[in-house]
Structure 1
């Protein structure tokens, strides 16, 4: 078998937009074909391969990158709180510094990337997309966070569905002067990765991280601020997410939801949220920098606003 080809005869550098895979839910054969192509590409990637990022020439999301984050590989594990039980986990990851610059100030988080040992279940499971790479909605939400740190001063914050990095929530924890930050995902592999990442960053507050299933959430605490990036595309989970938001959000709190239109999935979320009692404010131009990045991409024939451009929704109860 030609090792430069995947199981469908595609070149190993073939670019696959996973957002498109999720968009065409009715075309089952096309979805299956593309998923298997992603699986084949991931499974045969060398363990030292770069993560999908704005600087990765062959990233599966390079068209949808807004170049807001820079990545730098760290050749020494940046251990801030060494604990014996995490030593093996540190070694199983390649470490990167994710940084962004806002108004002349640099912000960064050290992120561990699991070496490429994905199984079919990892890639094709319901809530595993966050294990593949950092998607544009998390990228733009992280930039939004760093541009509006005052929103989090003395606030309790939770990130829902933060994937393998929970990047936006960790930026809040490190720079937002929040009273507490909790980062979550529904997938244990993602949470394990974030727990290891937390050990390799310095925070002035305790950062909690745990598996959080929207459908089984039992409210014991409500948060001032909720962050959520690109969690709207699964129709079956939308009602659970909205109910989770309602139970998690304090009466005077606010949720910042970042997601592309992706067909009518964003509008359906807004409609169902308003039916539940939320007030939703849809903001297309929430950052001059991000907007200019978008305008620069409009001439790219592979760029599609509906799929690639994250929109901000501010969700409140009153």
Structure 2
């Protein structure tokens, strides 16, 4: 048997890291395992394609551009609603990680996934929010673990929410969020939109405790070490008294989601889980399950986000 086919998911993820840190060195082994690495990484290029997007520019195309500029691209998302409003997001180019990224992760006790790519669950969350825009009207909303902020920006641009906070615990990611808010200010109408650096284990957040009608997040339950912090943060931020809820779109990822829901229950919060929650998302999921090869390596457990609603 070829040794590539015997590789474990963890070893393949280490190869992803190696390829990102040393993009100029591609060994024969790397070439042979590229298919397996692509299968494990499950990047957004193989996502649900619910919101059309296109690359607008790659910053740093000119010979005089700085090394930092050459790491970014601007992507235009066209929202599938009346008027086809467009959002611009600046994001990191794939395979552009460096050691400084991981130094920051160690310093702040965070993960680096927000910089890797826009994850498929974020697009599903954004599409779900578009399809249920009425629930956000005149509400205060916060997105946790936002990455580049697509879902939060969609809510701000298309739902008439009164306030949208787009947060992440990684300071580098928050810089991207600030940039993306500034690039789309004209889209927000009367909605107040703000970036926030927010770590789930952060203390001293009394000024925002019991403040939000709706919390949204996508694919934030993978790392079990962060379950307790995320559950406590959700409990702290949900508005009381009054109706409020948290909307999470997360794949099962083995027992990770179930473990998180155990923690949610221990915090005294109520929850529900739905598998078929939107006809278009379900149709595309069923297509991948039944052989649509536009997403090689599609696995329900790791790729299809369930809808989790959490209430006080």
What TM-score, normalized by structure 2, do the two folds share? 0.77
Q: Deviations over 1:45-83 (max 9, x none)?
A: 59xxxxxxxxx9xx8426851121222121498xxxxxx
Gaps of 5+ in 2: 25-37, 60-66
CA distance in 2, matches of 1:45, 1:113: 18
Matches within 5 A, 1:148-297: 148-163=132-147, 165-202=148-185, 203-204=188-189, 205-217=191-203, 218-221=205-208, 222-251=211-240, 252-297=243-288
Q: Deviations over 1:104-123 (max 9, x none)?
A: 66343211023454114536
- What is residue 69 of structure 1 aligned with on the other side? 51
Inter-CA distance 216–76: structure 2 relative to 1 (3 Å threshold): closer
Inter-CA distance 309–133: structure 2 relative to 1 (3 Å threshold): same
Q: How far did residue 258 of structure 1 move?
A: 0.8
1:64–1:309 CA contact under 8 A, matched in 2: no
2:33 aligned with 1:33, yes or no?
no
CA RMSD of aligned residues (A): 3.1
CA distance in 2, matches of 1:68, 1:269: 27
> Match of 1:101, SS?
coil
CA distance in 2, matches of 1:76, 1:135: 20
Inter-CA distance 289–210: structure 2 relative to 1 (3 Å threshold): same
Q: Deviations over 1:14-72 (max 9, x none)?
A: xxxxxxxxxxxxxxx946532332123334559xxxxxxxxx9xx84268511212221
- What is residue 14 of structure 1 aligned with on the other side? none
1:254–1:314 CA contact under 8 A, matched in 2: yes
> Match of 1:302, SS?
coil
CA distance in 1, matches of 2:150, 2:116: 14
Gaps of 5+ in 1: 1-8, 11-28, 47-55, 78-87
1:90–1:196 CA contact under 8 A, matched in 2: no
Inter-CA distance 167–34: structure 2 relative to 1 (3 Å threshold): same
Residue of structure 2 aligned with 1:308, choices 284, 291, 303:
303
What TM-score, normalized by structure 1, do the two folds share? 0.76
